[in-house]
Structure 1
Amino acid sequence: MEVHRCRFVDYIPSAINALTFAPNTTRPVLACGRANGDIEVWNPKNEWTLEKVIPGGKNTSVEALAWAHQTTLTEDEDFWDSEKEKQAAIKKLVKTPPRLFSAGLNAVVTEWDLTTLKPKRSVDSHGGAVWCMATNHANTILAVGCEDGCVRLFDIADGELAFIRSFDKQKTRILSLAWSQDDTVMVTGSANSSIYKWNVELGRVVSRMTVDRVSGEDTLVWSVKILSNGTVVSGDSLGHVKFWEGESTTMIQSFNAHGADVLCLATGKDGNTVFSSGVDRKCNQYRFVDQPAPKKTGKNGKSGSINGKSATIAKWVLAGSRRFHSHDVRALALDESRNVDALVSGGVDVSMVVCPAAQFPENNQRRLTYVPQRPIISISKSKRLMLCRQEHGVKVWRIGKSAAPVQPFSEIEIGAHMELIEPQQAILEMNFKDDHNLTAAALSEDGHWIAVADTEEVKLFRIDEHPSKPGQLVVKKQKSFPGVRGTGAHYLSFTPDSTRLVVASTDSHVAIVDITQWESGNFDILRKFGQHRGTGGKDNASMDVDEDEGLTGDEGQVETIVFMAVSADGQWLATGDLKNRIFVFNLDTLQHHATLPVFDAPLTALHFHPYSPTLVIPTASNVFYLFNVETRRLTDWSREFSSDKHFPTKFLGLKDKIQGVAFNPARKNTLLVWGANYICHVDLDQGVGDRNAILNVGKRKRVDRAQDQLRKQQRERRMKKYADLGIVPMPELESGKAVVVLEGKKGRKVLAASTNRLEEEKEEEINFQLLHKFQPLMFVDFIGDNSLVVVELPFIKILSSLPPSYYRASYGT
């Protein structure tokens, strides 16, 4: 098999600026804000699953994030006619999904619609760039710290987002803020070496805490927190972590534990644990523990004690330290609940690192993959073209060709390099001036169509070769292309015959667009399906907007469409959403065909078998299912083996999720499933094999070689022993089923002998073949018989694009 290892794709992930967990009154979920404006929503279940990515835009770097989940009523007691009605309202509040707010240097505070992934509402900060943001503990007020030195409060109770008031203005920008447990006090960190304590009701400074200064320059207080007992914690640009008594605002302790700026803090719920990190990449843990008090000697020379026991005093101590990142750490988030127990960190090196908070710093960390979890690459197999979606554009390459091998692939050494007769070539680059980041892009199989989308609109482009200039392409935007009711899209796909475009719109409709009449400027929407809006299978048959107005569905059933697959013959379409619902549509009849059962674990991909009506459905538990869409049931193989009770243990234990599926045309009943750090070959004509087998091909070869060497040594020792005893070996002795003749005084005796002290073990059956030789994978698929395209993103490529990391020379270096 020839493998095209593509490392030329121009994709660099963005730095992480903010991390925050949702309140513990709702399901565990983490929001990650990046420098390009994207906001990722992660679910800690199933070894951290990425649920959705809210696209950012130009000049929308996320500097602060905040979740809000209101669980208390704001109405007076007289508002409710009965206690039952009141309890029902509380129950409804608790069941309401959490709300997500973001802000940045563009001076806008935005609430996001977590279904359409579009802004739900936005308000001006009235004070320039927003550096920090936090909700009170009642989740009814949002406080933001602004560039103009003012803290502003916004009402977010009962679904609102409205400006309330501002605090007294300071002479410098507000870099950090935190609420007290009773929401009556707030502390802010400023750029003038000061920490201010505020009375929230009056909006005035109550007291001021001053941090150290060097050479008369102001110190930046990058982060502040208030513990459950009222203690204030601060981290500043001198690398100091300070603890302040909340009432008197006097400093209790100070730690010079960092070599540079402390950019972020995270605190435990009990108030006895604090984490800090920053530019020097260290993550420190501080604990509030009891220590023996200093011994005081009395007049009689004896040390003092209380009731015969040594006196103790509670103090903060530096309990542990780790370095997880290669560059500045800009954000920390902590969730100590039993089902999460995670300290998450992120920064300039683009990766999130998760480690168990309870066992810090002993336990190992896990680095979440930095490659996209949703596909950003599309290929044309027949034309050998590959498209990569970027933030504000797309780029197309023609894949290179290798010289034909002079011997069969089975005889070529694994890993051998093949000569290229045609190198890869970048043939097209398109950049768009829109403010929004792209959410989807697709390349048609015939190579003549490119579709791109953001959350606002879908665009279609025709690609043709210049009639008089061979090799030069002409790109023409189809201005008459209507899109889908003016909405954007989360997913795009062309049918294999390049005659239709399938659009998964931001309002959770699936639209089938005919593009065969493009020359006349007609793009008819053949059908729109509303199953992902909870319409119970009722869908409209035409493109008439007026007929579609009533297709609203139950808002509680509307969910984001995140996966789509079209069968190789163009007959079947499968779509999946974040409620784990999978719907299958017949593109020949333009009818809804089947609704699949809801699987226990979240979906991670959808892919059709190219030679049968079988849909492959990988899940976050690393179990994949095979569903025959014609018979509307799981295949025999899947019914027998698709379960965590049957799949190999090593495969189920892989941390990285299955991100895609590929089929080799030369071996029609085998498949490849791949994740960020592995490719696994599965033969569907076999069972799953031994559950406890070693799946890693390289490791298994090393183990086999070691076992063969051991058997050889044992055999040589036995042969020598037989010779010393006078046993005459027969020719069959080496085979393991030997007959030996023993000469003795009583005559000749025939005995059965074995060449191995242990019984020959039955060779274990292994079906799942794992390969870990590639760099983090962005895309894997076949473009022909035994011709595999692998798109890699080595971390060294990301490092080369990053600024230098913090370094302090030590004495003697």
Structure 2
Amino acid sequence: MEVHRCRFVDYVPSAINALAFAPNTARPVLACGRANGDIELWNPKHEWTLEKVIPGGKNTSVEALAWAHQTVLTEDEDFWDSEKEKQAAIKKLTKTPPRLFSAGLNAVVTEWDLTSLKPKRSVDSHGGAVWCMATNNANTVLAVGCEDGCVRLFDIADGEFAFIRSFDKQRTRILSLAWSQDDKTMVTGSANSSIYKWDVEQGRVVSRMTVERVPGEDTLVWAVKILSTGDIVSGDSLGHVKIWDGATTTMVQSFSSHGADVLCLAIGRDGTTVFSSGVDRKCNQYRLVDQPAPKKTGKGGKNGTINGKTEMVTKWVLSGSRRFHSHDVRAMAMDESRNVDALVSGGVDVSMVVCTASQFTDINQRRIPYVPQRPVISISKSTRLMLCRQANGIKVWRLGKSASPIQPFSDFEIGAHMDLIEPQQAILEMNFRDDRNLTASAMSEDGHWIAVADIEEVKLFRIDENPSLPGQLVVKKQKSFPGVRGTGAHLLAFTPDNSRLVVASTDSTVVIVDISQWESKKFDVLAKFSQHRGSGGKAAGSMDVDGEEQEVTGGDGHVETIISMAVSADGQWLATGDTKNRIFVFNLDTVQHHATLPTFDAPLTALQFHPSSPVLVIPTASNVFYVFNVETRLMSDWSREYSSDKTFPTKFLAFKDKIQGVAFNPARKHTLMVWGANYMCHVDLTLGVGDRNAALSVGKRKRDEQIKAERRKQQRERRMMKYAENGTLSAPDLENGEAVVVLEKKNGKKVRKVLTDDFMEKREAEVNFQVLHKFQPLMFVDFLDDNSLVVVELPFVKILSSLPPSYYRASYGT
């Protein structure tokens, strides 16, 4: 097989600035804010699944994130006519999804719509850049710390978002803040070597704590937290982690366990565990433990004893230290509930690292792949073009060509290099001046159309070769293209005949636009499907898969974000899936809804049609994939029998990296290739799953069938001779190529085992899931043609070259 191994793609993930878990009263979700303004929403289930990406924009770096999920009523008791009505209101509040707020150096605090992924409301901080943000424990007030040294409170109760008031202004910026358990006091860390304790009701400082400072320089208190016991924890730019008595605001203990700035802290719910990290990349764990009291002085004093009994005192100790990251760690978040038990960290090296919080020093960490979990690459197979989307632009390459091999591909070693007669070439680069990051892009099969979108609009471009200057391209924006009239898109796709553009809009509507009459500046909207909005009903004659008739309203009527979309190779079928696992199939010939597929337990991660049949493959986050015939509305026989976590190979199911895509080799129509960030897996749909405990790892080996057959023959002959020497079989058995071996089972029973010529072939047939780990980490995998595979990799070495130097302190003698 010919493999185009592409490492030239200019894609660099953004640094992680903020992490925040949703409150315990809501389902577990982690928000990850990046330096380019993007906010990722991760579900800890199924080994961490990316659900959505809220796009950022220019100068919108996320410095702080805060969740709010109100479960306490703000009305007086007299407001409710009965206890039943009050409980119903509480239940309604609890079922309301949590709200997400973000802020950064652009002085804007934003609440996000988690379905359309657009800003819901934005408020100016009126104090410059926002460095920190937190909601109170009742989730009714949002506090932000600003550049001008002022803490400002916003009312977020009952869906509101309005400014309340400001605290007394300080002469330095507020870098960190935390609420007390009763929401009556607040602690802030400043850039003037001070920690302030505030009375929230009066908005005044009630106490001040001072940390050490270097002469002539102020110490920055980057992080503060308040424990459930009321004590205060701080981390500063001198690398110190300090514990303060919450009542007297006196320092209890100090740790100089970091070599540079402590940028982030995480605390346990019981107030006995603290984690810290920062510029020196170390992640430290501190525990509150019982220790013998120090030696008493005076006449008859004994070492920590009273009346013969050892006196014990509680004290904080450094209980563990690990180094997960290669650069500064800027954010940490911990969730000890809901079977999550995770400590998550992130920073300049762009990767999130997850480790078990309760067994921090004993269990290995899990590194979330830094490659994009949603596709940013599309290809034109006929023209050998590849498009990659960046935050604010796109780039198109023409893939190279290799010299014709002088021997079959099966004779090559895996990874052997082939000579290029035409190297890859960057032929087009487009950068957009919009302040918003791009959310979707697509290129037509003939290479003449490129569509891009953000959350506000969809743009369409016509690409043609300059007739007077061969080799140069002319790009024309279709100004008459109406887009989706006021909305952007989460996904885009062209039909294979290049006549239609499919848009999955930000309002969860699927729009079909005719672009075949572009020369007359006509772009007709052929259809709008509203199934993902919980409306649209069912088209006449359609039914659910497996023949089960039921009314289709898009589930329970909720509007959900469309996250996956696929168009069949013949242009007849369109499949779309959303975050609630609802998958709808549409017939593009009749422009009608065709079928609603069943909902799976695990979130879907991709959708892909077979290139020569109406077969849809649906991989899920549990690494189980399903195969449907959309024309007959039936699950395939193979999928009915094998698509289950009880039948798939256990080694394959144990892969922590999710299936990110599916590729089909046109030369082998009954096989498919599923791929994740660190593997590719070949599956033959004409065979069974095979041995559940086996998943063949394909390494460097000879592919010549004759050589393999010769090796098997030699092994068989040696085995037969060994059996003959032991008297197990006779010479005629050797000539027939068949051996009868007596084996003894554990229960003592003896059985006769027949070893035939095709014994090794049968053993290999038991392994259907053939896994290759050679290419990684993967951004994209697809076939250009028969036995011609495109693999796009993003090595970490390439990312390191774009990062600033990491912290280093020379040790004595080095």
TM range (shorter): over 0.9
Distance in 2 separating the partners of 1:773 and 1:79: 66
1:662 maps to 663
CA distance in 2, matches of 1:414, 1:122: 54
Question: Match for residue 14 of structure 1?
Answer: 14
- Tell me the equivalent position of 2:353: 353
Q: Which range moves more in the overlay, 51-60 or 482-491?
A: 482-491
Aligned pairs, how many?
Answer: 784
Partner of 1:371: 371
| 1:23 and 2:23 aligned | yes
CA distance in structure 2 between the aligned counterparts of 1:674 and 1:352, rounded to whole angstroms: 21
Partner Cα separation in structure 2 for residue 708 and residue 306 of structure 1 = 79
Distance 1:61 1:86, change over 3 A: same
**Cα gap change, 1:591 to 1:294, in 2 (>3 Å):** same
Shift of residue 214, structure 1, vs aligned partner: 1.0
Cα distance in 2, alignment partners of residues 715 and 519 from structure 1: 74
Deviation digits for residues 775-813 of structure 1 (CA, Å, limit 9, x no counterpart): 200000000110000000000000010000000000111
Equivalent positions of 1:475-486 (< 5 A) are 475-486=475-486
Preserved contact between residue 30 and residue 42 of structure 1 (Cα < 8 Å): yes
**Corresponding residue for residue 333 of structure 1:** 333
Equivalent residues of 2:724, 2:731 under 8 A apart: no
Residue matched to 2:563: 562
CA-based RMSD: 2.7
SS in 2 for 1:24: coil
Partner residue of 1:681?
682
Distance across 2 between alignment mates of 1:302 and 1:230: 32
* 1:639 has 2:640 as partner: yes
TM-score when scaled to structure 1?
Answer: 0.93
Whole-angstrom CA distance in 1 between matches of 2:722 and 2:69:
74
How do 1:42-441 and structure 2 match up within 5 A? 42-296=42-296, 299-300=299-300, 303=303, 305-306=305-306, 308-441=308-441
Q: Partner amino acid for 2:365?
A: Q
Cα distance in structure 1, aligned partners of 2:206 and 2:302: 46
Instruction: Say whether the 8 Å CA contact 2:293–2:304 is kept in structure 1.
Output: no
Partner of 2:277: helix, strand, or coil?
strand
Match of 1:526 in 2: 526
Structure 2 SS opposite 1:557: coil
Deviation of 1:77 (Å): 1.1
Mapped to 2, the partners of 1:36 and 1:555 lie a distance apart of 35
Cα pair distance change 1:516/1:190, threshold 3 Å: same
Aligned residue number for residue 767 of structure 1: 768
Q: Distance in 2 between matches of 1:411 and 1:300?
A: 88
Give the letter for the 1:312 counterpart: M
Paired position in structure 2 for 1:798: 799
Q: Distance in 2 between matches of 1:712 and 1:555?
A: 62
- Structure 2 counterpart of 1:471: 471
Change (3 A) 1:171 1:778: same
Distance 2:435 2:363 in 1: 43
1:232–1:246 CA contact under 8 A, matched in 2: yes
Shift of 1:79: 1.2
Counterpart of 2:793, as a letter, is E
Q: Secondary structure of the equivalent of 1:60? A: coil
**CA–CA separation in structure 1 for the residues paired with 2:344 and 2:40:** 14
Distance across 2 between alignment mates of 1:675 and 1:278? 31
> 1:696 corresponds to which residue?
697
| Conserved? CA contact 1:387–1:395, under 8 Å | yes
Q: Identify the residue that residue 745 of structure 1 maps to in structure 2.
A: none
- The one-letter code of the counterpart of 1:40 is E
Structure 1: runs of 5 or more not aligned? 541-551, 741-752
Q: Distance in 1 between matches of 2:659 and 2:801?
A: 28
Matched to 1:194, the amino acid is S
Code of the residue aligned with 2:110 in structure 1: it is T
Q: Structure 2 vs 1, CA of residues 270 and 462 (structure 1 numbering), >3 Å: closer, same or farther?
A: same
**C-alpha displacement at 1:215, in angstroms?**
2.1
Amino acid at match of 1:28: P
1:94 match: secondary structure:
helix
Structure 2: 5+ residue runs without aligned partners? Answer: 541-552, 742-751
The structural deviation recorded for 1:715 is 5.6
CA offset at residue 337 of structure 1?
A: 1.2
Partner SS, residue 452 of structure 1: strand
Q: 1:374 to 1:728 in 2, by over 3 A?
A: closer
Q: Which runs of 4+ in 1 moved over 4 A?
A: 300-304, 552-556, 699-702, 707-722, 727-740, 753-756, 759-762
CA contact (8 A) 2:396 2:426 kept: yes
SS at 1:532 equivalent: helix
Find the residue that maps to 2:86 and give its secondary structure. helix
- Seen in structure 2, the aligned counterparts of structure 1 residues 614 and 652 have a Cα distance that, compared at 3 Å, is same
Q: SS of 2:145's equivalent?
A: strand
Q: Secondary structure at the match of 1:208?
A: strand
Matches within 5 A, 1:493-504: 493-504=493-504
Correspondence for 1:587: 588
Q: Distance in 2 between matches of 1:599 and 1:213?
A: 57
Q: Output the amino acid matched with 1:43.
A: N
Q: Is the 8 A contact 1:736 1:754 kept in 2?
A: no
The offset of 1:300, in angstroms, is 4.3
Instruction: Specify the SS of the correspondent of 2:78.
Output: helix
Secondary structure at the counterpart of residue 85 of structure 2: helix
Residues 650 and 695 of structure 1 are in contact (CA less than 8 Å); yes or no, is this contact kept in structure 2? no
> By how many angstroms is 1:308 displaced?
3.6
The answer to whether the Cα contact below 8 Å between 1:530 and 1:539 also exists between their aligned partners in 2 is: no
Look up the SS of the partner of 1:373 in the other structure: coil
Distance 1:554 1:603, change over 3 A: closer
Corresponding residue for 2:545?
A: none
Q: 1:235-268 deviations in whole A, cap 9, x for unaligned? A: 0000000000001100000000000000000000
Listed one character per residue, the Cα deviations across residues 21-76 of structure 1 (whole Å, up to 9, x for unaligned) are 00000000000000000000000000000000000000000000000000001111
CA contact (8 A) 2:130 2:146 kept: yes
Distance in 2 separating the partners of 1:33 and 1:770: 34
Q: Tell whether the 8 Å contact from 1:289 to 1:315 is kept in structure 2 after alignment.
A: yes
Q: 2:504 and 2:103 mapped to 1: Cα distance?
A: 28
Contact 2:379 2:443 (C-alpha < 8 Å) held by counterparts: yes
* Matched residue type, 1:348: V
Determine what percentage of the aligned residue pairs are the same residue: 81
Residue number in structure 2 paired with 1:744 = none
Deviation at 1:711, TM superposition (A): 7.5
Residues 301 and 708 of structure 1: is their aligned pair in 2 closer, same or farther, counting only changes over 3 Å? farther
Shift of 1:698: 2.9
Change (3 A) 1:632 1:712: closer
SS state at 2:306 partner = coil
Shift of 1:696: 1.4
Distance 1:300 1:306, change over 3 A: closer
Give 1:746's aligned residue.
none
User: Deviation of residue 755 (structure 1)?
Assistant: 12
Structure 1: distance between partners of 2:487 and 2:723: 80
Alignment check: 8 A CA contact 2:695 2:769 kept: no
8 Å CA contact retained: 2:535, 2:557: no
1:536-587 CA distance string (max 9 Å, x none): 52689xxxxxxxxxxx999951010010000000000000000100000000
Separation in structure 1 between the aligned mates of residue 29 and residue 230 of structure 2, nearest angstrom: 27
CA distance in 1, matches of 2:616, 2:723: 56
For residue 630 of structure 2, what is the amino acid of its counterpart? V
Separation (CA, whole Å) in 1 of partners of 2:336 and 2:145: 27
Q: 1:538, 1:732 → 2: CA distance?
A: 67
> Per-residue displacement from partner, 1:342-392 (whole Å, max 9, x unpaired)?
000000000000000000111100000000000000110000000001101
Are residues 160 and 701 of structure 1, via their aligned partners in 2, closer, same or farther at CA, if it must alter by over 3 Å?
farther
Q: Deviations over 1:420-442 (max 9, x none)?
A: 11100000000000000000000
1:16–1:754 Cα change, 3 Å:
closer
SS in 2 for 1:89: helix
Q: Which amino acid aligns with 1:235?
A: G
- Alpha-carbon distance in 1 for matches of 2:580, 2:740: 66
Residue 575 (structure 2) pairs with residue 574 (structure 1): yes
